[in-house]
Every structure is written in structure tokens, then in C-alpha cells.
């Protein structure tokens, strides 16, 4: 009898924990960006990494390989969005802000694009699938494990001919862009890497002549986690015309947004 009671208690406890993990806590934190990041990006990720002995990027890749069609970029995007909304949150730009990214890419119709922060290649695929013939994305990723996954995701989408993925620190690579890639300037720069690097990398791009009149900077996560120094710079500089696109932190209801800044020249 005691054994049955103990077993029943364990099953009940496990059920309560599952409900808390799967529904209650995610619902409770979805309106608070800081709590959402703490829960999804620290607690849950570390727990699942330990339990599954895989990384979140590896689990995203598996979702792509299981659900997406080879050579179909939209199916890759859909597979990742479904995984992140229904299985496990991840720090992609996401479907809601991704639609804003799409509209900016279509508006600019860039030939040369620089993406700072590849992660698993989600936004790289979103951008590359909309580029005109002959255009390309140069995407920088500091973490070699993320870069390895991103290469496979990009290849699965069939867009590897439009993407050059570079591993390393943005501060090291930006001064070599012209020499290494033959790029004179970028039409579009998408900032989605370490938030404290937004401002110094923007100034470095300016110093290296990689931003020209008409270049569009599009910065993600300017509210959550936030980039106050970057926003102060582009919003108050006479060399930029900036516009804020209000949205939500990826796959939550917490406020976040994208800042679009058009370089006006000197």
C-alpha cells in the first residue's frame, strides 16, 4: 500500500512539474521579456541540453531535417518557427519580426548584405531567399558550433550559393571586408549579434567605408534585451534617419522591436 501511495505521489508530482514546464511558466513569463529570456534561454536550454545531451541548435537542425523539404527555403523557415513556438523557444528573429525583416529586404532589394550574428541560419535564409539574382549575404558568426549548424540549415534550404558564412569576431572581420570579399559597401546590414557590439561595430563599419549613402541598418532586439547606446546614437545622429518598428520578442508577447536606420551620408 505504501509503495502504491509513493508511486502515485511520484506520478502526480511528475504531472504537476510537466504542466508547470509546458504551459504554466511559459504563459506566466511571455509578457515579461527579462523573465522570458531567463526561463527559455537559461533554465530550459540548460536543462534540455543536460537531459538530451544535445544542444539547442542541434535540436533545431533535427527539426529542419525532419519537417522541411530540401531546397525549399520557406519550408525551413516554417519548420523552425513551428519548433520554436510549439516545442522549444530559440533566439531567432522569429516569424513576427521576420515579416518586418522581409519587408525591409524587399524594399531595399540589396545586392550586398552583411548579417552580424548567424546563430542557426534562420534569418540568413529569410534574407537570402528574397535577394535578386547575383546578390549575396555575408554572415558572421563568432561561435563555431552555431556556424556548423547554420551551414547545414542553409544548405538544406538550397541557398548556399547566395551565402558566405564567416566564423570569427565582427571586430576582427569588418576591417578586412573590402580586401577579403571585394565589397565596396553594403546596401543592407542586419545586426543581430551581441547587443553591446551594435554601436562599436556600426562605428567600425563607418570608419571602414562599408556604409554608404542609402545603406540601411536594421537592428534586432533593440528593446529586449535592449541596445540603449545604439539607439541613442542612430536616433540623434544627423547622419541617420531612424524608424522604430514595434513588435514582440520572438515567440512571446513581450515588447521588442527593430530599428531601421538609413545612412544619409556626411
DSSP 145: H
Positions marked catalytic: 192, 195, 220-221, 250
Cβ distance 183 to 154 under 8 Å? no
Pairing of strands 255-263, 211-219: antiparallel
Cβ distance 223 to 33 under 8 Å? yes
Cβ distance 227 to 256 under 8 Å? no
Instruction: Give the burial class of 153: count Cβ atoms within 10 A of its Cβ; 0-12 exposed, 13-18 middle, 19 or more buried.
Output: buried
Q: Which three cell numbers stand for residue 75?
A: 519550408
Contacts of 83 (CB under 8 A, 6+ apart): 59, 60, 63, 67, 90
**Nearest-angstrom CA–CA distance, 141 and 31:** 29
Return the closest-CA partner of residue 124 out of 79, 174, 77. 77
Cβ distance 260 to 222 under 8 Å? no
Amino acid at each position: 500500500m505504501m509503495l502504491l501511495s509513493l508511486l502515485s505521489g511520484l506520478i502526480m508530482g511528475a504531472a504537476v512539474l510537466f504542466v508547470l514546464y509546458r504551459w504554466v511558466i511559459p504563459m506566466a513569463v511571455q509578457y515579461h521579456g527579462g523573465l522570458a529570456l531567463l526561463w527559455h534561454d537559461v533554465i530550459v536550454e540548460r536543462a534540455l541540453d543536460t537531459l538530451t545531451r544535445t544542444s539547442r541548435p542541434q535540436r533545431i537542425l533535427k527539426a529542419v531535417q525532419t519537417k522541411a523539404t530540401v531546397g525549399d527555403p520557406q519550408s525551413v523557415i516554417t519548420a523552425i518557427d513551428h519548433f520554436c513556438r510549439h516545442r522549444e523557444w530559440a533566439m531567432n528573429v522569429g516569424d513576427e519580426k521576420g515579416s518586418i525583416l522581409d519587408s525591409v529586404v524587399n524594399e531595399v532589394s540589396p545586392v550586398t548584405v552583411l548579417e552580424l550574428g548567424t546563430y542557426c541560419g534562420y534569418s540568413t535564409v529569410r534574407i537570402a531567399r528574397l535577394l535578386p539574382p547575383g546578390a549575396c549575404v555575408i554572415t558572421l558568426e563568432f561561435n563555431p558550433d552555431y556556424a556548423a549548424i547554420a551551414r547545414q540549415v542553409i544548405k538544406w534550404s538550397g541557398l548556399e550559393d547566395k551565402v558566405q558564412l564567416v566564423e570569427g569576431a565582427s571586430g576582427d572581420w569588418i576591417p578586412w571586408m573590402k580586401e577579403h570579399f571585394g565589397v565596396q559597401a553594403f546596401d543592407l546590414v542586419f545586426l543581430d549579434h551581441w547587443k553591446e557590439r551594435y554601436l562599436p561595430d556600426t562605428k567600425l563599419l563607418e570608419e571602414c567605408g562599408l556604409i554608404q549613402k542609402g545603406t540601411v541598418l536594421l537592428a534586432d532586439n533593440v528593446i529586449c534585451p535592449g541596445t540603449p547606446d545604439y539607439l541613442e546614437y542612430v536616433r540623434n545622429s544627423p547622419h541617420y534617419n531612424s524608424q522604430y518598428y514595434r513588435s514582440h520578442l520572438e515567440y512571446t508577447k513581450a515588447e521588442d522591436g527593430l530599428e531601421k536606420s538609413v545612412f544619409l551620408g556626411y
